[in-house]
Amino acid sequence: MIYTGLRPGDLVEVKNENIHLDKRYFRGGFKTEAGTNRVIPIHKKIHSLIEARMDPKKEYLVINHENNKMSCYVYYHEKWKKIMEQLEMDHKPHDCRHTFATLMDNAGANK
C-alpha cells in the first residue's frame, strides 16, 4: 500500500482484470470521485509481488482462504494483525497511505 497509496478498502477491491503487468499499471480506488478507477503505476519493487499474487482464474487480487473476495475486516484481523505481531510492530493499514502521501508530498508530487 505504501507504493500505491491505496486505502485498505481499495486494496481488497482490486480485480485481476484491471491489472496490466505488461504496462505496469492497474486501476483501482472507489472512495472519492477523483480516486475512483484511477490509474495506479506498478513500481518495479512491487511488480513481482503483484505478479505472484495474481491469478487470472480468480476475480480479485486479494482473496480469502475460500478464494473469494476478502473483506476489510478479515484483511485486518486475520492478515494484517498477524503480520504486525510477527514483526513485533504496531501499525495500522492506513499508516501505509499516510506514508505514501508524505513521500509524494516530499517529492513535490502534484496533489
Answer yes or no: is pLDDT of 63 > 80. yes
Stretch 71-94: mean pLDDT, rounded? 93
The distance of Cα 8 from the centroid of its chain, to the nearest Å, equals 7
**Which pLDDT value is given to residue 8?**
87
Domain ranges of the chain: 8-106
Between 34 and 50, the more confident residue is 50
pLDDT tens-digit profile of 38-58? Answer: 899 999 999 999 999 999 899
With beta carbons less than 8 A apart as the criterion, state whether 36 and 93 touch. no
**Which pLDDT value is given to residue 91?**
94
Answer yes or no: is pLDDT of 32 > 80. no
Q: Which of 103, 94, 91 is nearest to 45 (CA)?
A: 103
Alpha-carbon gap, residue 71 to 109, rounded angstroms? 31
**Class in CATH terms, 8-106:** mainly alpha
**Which pLDDT value is given to residue 88?**
97
